[in-house]
Amino acid sequence: MTSSLAALQAAGQAIQDSVGGAIARPSLPPRGFSSREAFFQLIQFVGWFLAIGAIGFRFGVVRRARGISEEARRILRADNAARLGLTGVILLAIAFLGGPYVDSVVRHRGFLESLPKNLAPLELKLALFALALAGFVLVRRVSSVGWTIAAIALLIAVLQPLYTGRTAGKVNAVHILAASTWLGTLLVLTLIGIRGVIRTDALGPSRTELVCDLVNSFSPLALGASAVVVLTGLTTAWLHLKRVSALWTTGYGLALVVKLILVLTVISLGAWNWRRVRPSLGDEGSEETIRRSATLELTFGALVLIATSVLVSLPSPR
């Protein structure tokens, strides 16, 4: 009788310990899609595109173009690209601070409590954004110094995960830099370069030649950056997917398929511009043709940004 009572007490204690352990250590539900996170990711991507695109336009397009007249320099003046770069840096700051702020409001807690526990990477990034901001502002007074400061600060900021993150973060940092260099520079080239030249009549017949020079200067930069985008994109997908079947059995995989289709479309449009449209530059009306084709390429590029924002907000397959 005593042994039976002891056995019942032991069983009851085991059940109590089991229940108590379950209460003390609740299993967290898997992370799902967050529209708030996707929104701020989209703002971040647009910020990188504008900021790095302005740098790419200044150093990879205008500087490489052949002899430019004074009138052309006025149209392509550094202030225009610097304004876009400035806007990009502001969007980056909003993206990195806006998420924690909204989270603090939704959860009714302090803003500092919503920030990452390790503040060093965020503080460094914000300091670099402030430096880039100062560089873009300085462009109007001392152009070369301002552009150099902004370029160095942004390069260190976007590649920060190379020395603070894991393998997937390192690859993703290079992916963002390459994509921003490719499509971001194309965006600034279209808005300031091609559009600005088309809207003026001061250049006369040389207007078409200037557009041709700008596009030819951009082509090597676009080819190199797009190749890096494809390589790093495939590497990132492999690191997150873990198995091929996840492409059609998980939400992450389906979102990745949509992104890949859009990326292939952008690459196809870029190849068309390079092989078909670019050789025709110099002919009458060719500047309007390249403007339309570049706009179409950028439209699908914007869809890629939206798809990527959704993708990175989804949990990776297990």
Per residue in 258-282, pLDDT tens?
A: 999 999 999 888 888 878 777 777 6
224 touches 234 (CB < 8 A): no
Residue 72 lies in a domain: yes
Q: What is the pLDDT of residues 188-210, one digit of tens each?
A: 988 887 877 777 665 555 677 77
What pLDDT sits at residue 182?
92
Residue 234 lies in a domain: yes
Number of domains in the chain: 1
pTM of the full structure? 0.82
Which of 16-30, 156-170, 193-207 has the largest mean confidence? 156-170
Mean pLDDT of the chain, nearest integer: 80
Q: At 36, which helix (H) or strand (E)? A: helix 35-56
What sign for the dihedral angle of Cα 40, 42, 43, 47? positive
Q: Which of 21-30, 169-178, 218-227, 295-304 shows the lowest mean pLDDT across its residues?
A: 21-30
Residue 129 lies in a domain: yes
| Cα distance between residue 163 and residue 17, in whole Å | 44
| Cα distance between residue 153 and residue 156, in whole Å | 5
What pLDDT sits at residue 5?
43
pLDDT surpassing 50 at residue 21: no
| Cα distance between residue 274 and residue 271, in whole Å | 5
What pLDDT sits at residue 56?
93
* pLDDT band, residue 245 (cuts 50/70/90): confident
Residue 317 lies in a domain: no
Amino acid identity at 288? E
Stronger pLDDT, 84 or 216, i.e. the higher one: 84
Residue 26 lies in a domain: no
Residue 79 lies in a domain: yes
**169 lies in which domain range?**
33-312
| Cα distance between residue 121 and residue 281, in whole Å | 46
Residue 260 lies in a domain: yes
pLDDT surpassing 60 at residue 253: yes
Residue 100 lies in a domain: yes
pLDDT surpassing 90 at residue 42: yes
What sign for the dihedral angle of Cα 184, 223, 145, 149? positive
List of E strands, the chain = none
